[in-house]
Amino acid sequence: MSSPEKAIETQLKNIQARTGKTLDELSALVQQSGLTKHSEIRAMLQQELGLGYGDANTLAHFTRQSVDERAAKESGTTPGDVLAEIYTGAKAGLRPIHDRLMAAIVGFGPFEIAPKKGYVSLRRKRQFAMIGPATKTRVEVGINVKALEPHVRLLEEPAGSMCNYIVRLSEVGEVDAELIAWIRKAYDAAG
């Protein structure tokens, strides 16, 4: 287990001790709230349990991930199944772009791949990138890092968005050294 994973494990144990609730009970509290947005879950945990921002943030990530994992187990799906579902039908032709991106990113080092309904989230201590088809002809790569040099390919997102920048790709050849360097900066900053 890496030291970031150990730190999170320790933090979760401390949260359980502080609240007197198990992780299952804390996850149930989040599920029963009916909240789905990360910021709303974090705020509820701060208010209901008196947690600080950092503990509430970590617990919100943990409970949302647990819900996603339970749903995948109950439905019998694997991350590969989710990817196959994302790149199906008219979007199937975009899968080579995704695969080329992932082949380059895997070389950076360890990270978590969290498949979501229409994209995958790439995380270290925090999310550094998102990859998914935006339309049937275009993949969008969200890059979560601040202060990249302005570039015509980098579309800056409004404050509070899930990523700071978006890069739109319509063919495998657009996965180039420049794009990989931007994602690498985000990877390094997230760890």
CATH number of the domain that 156 lies in?
3.30.1460
What tokens appear for 102 in the block?
């992932």
Residues facing residue 109 across a β-bridge? none
Same domain, 159 and 174: yes
Residues 92 and 168 reside in one and the same domain: yes
Confidence of residue 65 (pLDDT cuts 50, 70, 90): low
Q: Which amino acid is at 125?
A: K
Mind giving me the DSSP string for 152-191?
TT-EEPPTTSSSSEEEEESSGGG--HHHHHHHHHHHHHT-
Instruction: Specify the pTM.
Output: 0.61
Same domain, 85 and 178: yes
Q: Are residues 122 and 90 in the same domain?
A: yes
What per-residue confidence (pLDDT) applies to 1?
44
Same domain, 58 and 98: no
Q: 59, 75, 91: which is the final residue of a domain?
A: 75
- Whether 11 and 96 share a structural domain: no
Structure tokens that stand for 73 in this block: 């187990």
- What distance in Å separates the CA atoms of residue 39 and residue 137, rounded to the nearest whole number? 31
Higher pLDDT, 161 or 132: 132
Q: Say yes or no: 100 and 183 in one domain.
A: yes
> Do residues 70 and 96 both lie within one domain?
no
Q: What is the arithmetic mean of pLDDT over 48-64?
A: 84
pLDDT at 127 over 80: yes
131: β partners: 120, 141
Residues 150 and 114: their CA atoms lie apart, in Å, by 29
Can you tell me the distance from the alpha carbon of 35 to that of 46, in angstroms, rounded to the nearest whole number?
A: 14
Q: Quote the domain boundaries for residue 19.
A: 3-75
Backbone dihedral region for residue 56 (phi beyond 0: left; psi -120 to 50: alpha; all else: beta): alpha
138 and 105 share one domain: yes
Q: Tokens for 41?
A: 């879950």
**Residue that has been written with the tokens 């082949």 in this structure:** 103
Q: Are residues 124 and 57 in the same domain?
A: no
70/85 same-domain check: no
Give me the number of domains the chain comprises: 2
Whether residue 130 is found in the same domain as residue 172: yes
